[in-house]
Amino acid sequence: MRNKNAPIGVFDSGVGGLTVVREIMRQIPNEKIVYFGDTARVPYGSKSKETVTRYSRQIVRFLQTQEVKAIVVACNTASAYALDEIEKETELPMIGVVKPGARVAAQTTANGKIGVIATEGTVNSHIYSRYIREIKPDANVVGKACPLFVPLVEEGLLQDPVTDEIAKRYLTELIDIGIDTLILGCTHYPLLRSTVGKIMGEGVRLVNPAYETARELKELLGKADLLNEEEPKLGDNKYRFYVSDGAEKFKRFANSIIKYGILSAKIINIEEY
């Protein structure tokens, strides 16, 4: 019998998954969260399936020591490469960011042309295409890797002529194809939403998987009778943050994304798990 008051475990390769945490905080504010960001080994987007799976497995082991009641894989690359395998290895309910994003994109598109911007790993896995076609078999899904978006976000250039120029180069081929729906398939990308939206124009609906993931998580916990019914008490350590490196730097970036006020992040040696 799982404990309703237990925290939800959320992990990502670094800070990007905090856009998912932000949505969970908004949509199910009673839930406790344990977050792990693999800041020592970030980024995952350019790594192989084998490596991302090995890293994800270590993180799941760590989250289990925190007695979480469910796990959110808040990283597109880990959802694409590792989720299928690691969810077999535990009894815990587990949810990634890809399926919820794919589902809403399939339901949204009118002309069947869907773009996915993501890391190299997520694009090469063709996972969005696979899930979208399960719902909408005739959909035309075009992926585009945008390797400079993460470093640009981490350098703080959210609204900047350089970011505009790079975004134009990446997005031109999706505009030419005439997509009407674009999935922001990397957890950093919602932070570039206004830049991407400006270039794509009003005719293109932007899908943020973070939002959809929080919605599906709420549903999943509800069905499993695992929603926390009472608000955690003060001093209950509602939100806990762990990283594999650079706690201070993480805290600074995290506080720019989440308005909650993150007071501390603890470093753990993830290779030991």
Which spans of this chain sit near its own copies (rule: CB under 8 A)?
39-41, 46-48, 50-51, 147-148, 150-152, 154-155, 161-162, 165-166, 244-246, 249, 271
- Which of 25, 145, 186, 200 is an active site residue? 186
Name the residue type at position 175.
Answer: I
Q: Please say which residue, 48 or 107, places its beta carbon nearer to its own copies.
A: 48
Shortest distance (Å) from residue 124 CB to its own copies: 11
Q: Where are the beta strands (DSSP E) in 155-217?
A: 181-184, 205-207
Alpha helices in the chain (DSSP H): 18-27, 49-65, 76-81, 83-86, 98-108, 120-125, 127-135, 149-154, 161-177, 193-200, 209-223, 247-257
For Cα atoms 35, 39, 44, give the angle at the middle one, nearest 5 degrees: 100
Q: Please say which residue, 180 or 245, places its beta carbon nearer to its own copies.
A: 245
Q: Please say which residue, 41 or 215, places its beta carbon nearer to its own copies.
A: 41
Q: How many CA atoms lie within 13 A of 94 on its CB side?
A: 22
Shortest distance (Å) from residue 204 CB to its own copies: 24
Q: Please say which residue, 165 or 231, places its beta carbon nearer to its own copies.
A: 165
Shortest distance (Å) from residue 149 CB to its own copies: 10
Residue found by looking up tokens 């939800």 in the block: 8
Shortest distance (Å) from residue 130 CB to its own copies: 23
Q: Which two tokens stand for residue 54?
A: 């090995």
Q: Please say which residue, 163 or 181, places its beta carbon nearer to its own copies.
A: 163
Q: Which strand (E) or helix (H) includes residue 8?
A: strand 8-12
Determine the length of the chain.
273
Q: Please say which residue, 46 or 140, places its beta carbon nearer to its own copies.
A: 46
- Which of 72, 75, 83, 146 is an active site residue? 75
DSSP state at residue 6: S
In sequence order, which residues have a C-beta less than 8 Å from that of residue 163 and are 6 or more positions away? 152, 157, 192, 195
Is 269 in contact with 246 (CB distance < 8 Å)? no
Q: For 50-67, b where at least 16 C-beta lie within 10 A, e where not — what string?
A: eebbebbbbbbebbeeee
DSSP state at residue 205: E
Shortest distance (Å) from residue 196 CB to its own copies: 17
Active site residue 146: no
Shortest distance (Å) from residue 45 CB to its own copies: 11
Please list the active-site residues: 75, 186
